[in-house]
Amino acid sequence: MRNDRALLGSLFLAALVVTSGCASTKVTRVDTASVTDLSGRWNDTDSRLVAEAMIKEAISQPWLDSYTRAKGHAPVVIIGTIANRSLEHINVQTFVSDLERELTNSQRVTFVAGRGEREEVREERRDQAVNALESTQKSAGKEFGADFMLRGTISMIEDELDGTKAVFYQVDLEMVDLTNNVKAWFGQKKIKKVVDRKRVVF
């Protein structure tokens, strides 16, 4: 009996080794614009679609035309803090980059660099002042000050029962007038996903 058990144990271990040795990895390249939902978490598709929809809404609202008519030029916009208040680790910078792309490509506003980017550009100007030909140097004090700041939050709610999970995301963005702190525009985008996890019964 003991020999039989030992034999069965050896066969089981051998099967595990063979199975592990036969495991393979398959990588498939897909269109970056395709929708790929594997875990139900916030992903690149959510970031891109939310940015596109919310910037499209923002530049179609009355605040933009009102400012342009009153001042005679397009407003200068900067992106402030986009806070992640969800339960997930979300790469907010990817979402910020999507917002920047949509704002810039809209050609409806003048988009200027954020705080961290400005410091890098200023350092380059300081370096030019020392090392570049005088005729090619870019002088300080000519930056465009922003008229509006776009800021917001990403929040989420989870609900789960018997292997089925509902995930609700809410993105709130607001355009704040830097002259008087008036919120010139407020936008909201919601995403709801239902994730069914298969249960394996042995």
pLDDT single digits (tens) 10-54: 655 555 555 555 557 887 776 666 667 777 788 989 999 999 999
The verdict on residue 72 lying in a domain is yes
pLDDT for the residue numbered 11? 53
pTM for this prediction: 0.77
- Kindly compute the dihedral angle of the four CA atoms of residues 197, 167, 58, 35, in this order, to the nearest 10 degrees: 0
pLDDT single digits (tens) 78-128: 999 999 999 889 999 999 999 999 999 999 999 998 888 899 999 999 999
User: What's the structural domain count of the chain?
Assistant: 1
179 has pLDDT over 90? yes
Which range of residues forms the domain containing residue 141? 41-196
* CATH at 112: 3.40.50
The verdict on residue 10 lying in a domain is no
140 has pLDDT over 70? yes
Closest CA to 100 of 112, 88, 89: 112
**b/e sequence 176-196, b meaning 16+ C-beta within 10 Å:** bbbeeeeebbebebeeeeebe
Q: How far apart are CA 199 and CA 197, in angstroms?
A: 6
Binned at pLDDT 50, 70 and 90, residue 137 comes out as very high
The verdict on residue 144 lying in a domain is yes
75 has pLDDT over 80? yes
200 has pLDDT over 80? no
Which of 12-16, 21-25, 139-143, 192-196 is least confident? 12-16
The verdict on residue 7 lying in a domain is no
The verdict on residue 201 lying in a domain is no
The verdict on residue 108 lying in a domain is yes
Q: At residue 66, what is the residue type?
A: S
Q: How far apart are CA 13 and CA 157, in angstroms?
A: 44
